[in-house]
C-alpha cells in the first residue's frame, strides 16, 4: 500500500472528533440530568474512543504479522470491546452519581457513529488493498 497504514490513517481522521464528542455528550447529559448524567455520558465517549484506539493499534500490529493474526485480532477485539463496555457499566453503576441511562444513551450512538465512519472510510477498498505483509509475494 502506498499510503499510511489504514488503521493509523483512521486514527488521524477520528481523533479530532473525540474531544468535541465528549464535550457534546457532557453538555447534553448536564442539560438532561445534571452533573452525574454529564460525567456518565462523557465517560462513555472516552471509553468508546480508547477502545477504538486499542483496536486500531492492535490491528496495525496484527497486519505486520499475518493475515490470520488480523482475523484473530479483529474478531477477538470485537468480543473484548463488548466485555469492556459491559464491565465498565457494571463497575461504574456502583457509584452513587453514575447514570447508566446517560452512559448508554451516549455509548450506543457513539459506537454506531464510529462504525459508520469506519465503513465509509474503507468503502470501495478491497480487504487485500488495506494491508501489506512482509515477505508476501505480489501476483
Q: Is 139 within a domain? A: no
Q: What is the pLDDT of residue 15?
A: 94
Q: Is 93 within a domain? A: yes
Q: What is the pLDDT of residue 1?
A: 38
* Domains in the chain, number: 1
pLDDT (tens digit per residue) in 58-113: 988 888 888 889 889 989 988 999 999 999 999 999 999 999 999 999 999 999 99
Instruction: Compute the average pLDDT of residues 117-131.
Output: 66
pLDDT (tens digit per residue) in 7-28: 888 899 999 999 999 999 999 9
Cell numbers at residue 9, please?
490513517
Q: What is the pLDDT of residue 21?
A: 96
Q: What is the pLDDT of residue 45?
A: 97
Sign of CA pseudo-dihedral 42, 21, 77, 100 = positive
Q: Is 52 within a domain? A: yes
C-alpha–C-alpha distance, residues 37 and 52, integer Å: 23
C-alpha–C-alpha distance, residues 137 and 139, integer Å: 6
C-alpha–C-alpha distance, residues 42 and 23, integer Å: 7
Q: Please, are residues 64 and 6 in contact by the beta-carbon 8 Å criterion?
A: no
pLDDT confidence bin for 4, thresholds 50/70/90: low
Q: What is the pLDDT of residue 121?
A: 77
Q: Is 134 within a domain? A: no
Domain range for 67: 6-122
Is pLDDT of 2 > 50? no
Q: Is 62 within a domain? A: yes
C-alpha–C-alpha distance, residues 48 and 61, integer Å: 20
Q: What is the pLDDT of residue 124?
A: 61
Q: What is the pLDDT of residue 53?
A: 94
Residue ranges of the alpha helices (H) in the chain? 6-33, 35-63, 67-92, 100-122, 127-130
Q: Is 138 within a domain? A: no
Q: Is 129 within a domain? A: no
Amino acid at each position: 500500500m502506498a499510503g499510511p497504514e489504514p488503521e493509523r490513517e483512521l486514527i488521524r481522521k477520528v481523533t479530532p472528533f473525540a474531544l468535541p464528542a465528549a464535550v457534546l455528550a457532557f453538555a447534553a447529559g448536564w442539560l438532561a440530568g445534571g452533573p452525574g448524567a454529564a460525567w456518565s455520558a462523557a465517560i462513555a465517549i472516552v471509553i468508546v474512543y480508547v477502545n477504538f484506539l486499542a483496536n486500531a493499534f492492535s490491528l496495525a500490529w496484527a497486519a505486520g504479522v499475518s493475515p490470520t493474526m488480523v482475523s484473530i485480532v479483529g474478531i477477538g477485539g470485537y468480543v473484548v470491546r463488548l466485555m469492556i463496555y459491559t464491565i465498565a457499566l457494571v463497575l461504574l453503576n456502583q457509584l452513587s452519581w453514575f447514570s447508566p441511562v446517560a452512559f448508554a444513551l451516549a455509548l450506543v450512538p457513539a459506537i454506531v457513529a464510529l462504525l459508520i465512519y469506519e465503513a465509509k472510510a474503507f468503502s470501495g477498498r478491497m480487504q487485500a488493498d488495506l494491508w501489506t505483509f512482509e515477505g508476501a509475494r505480489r501476483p
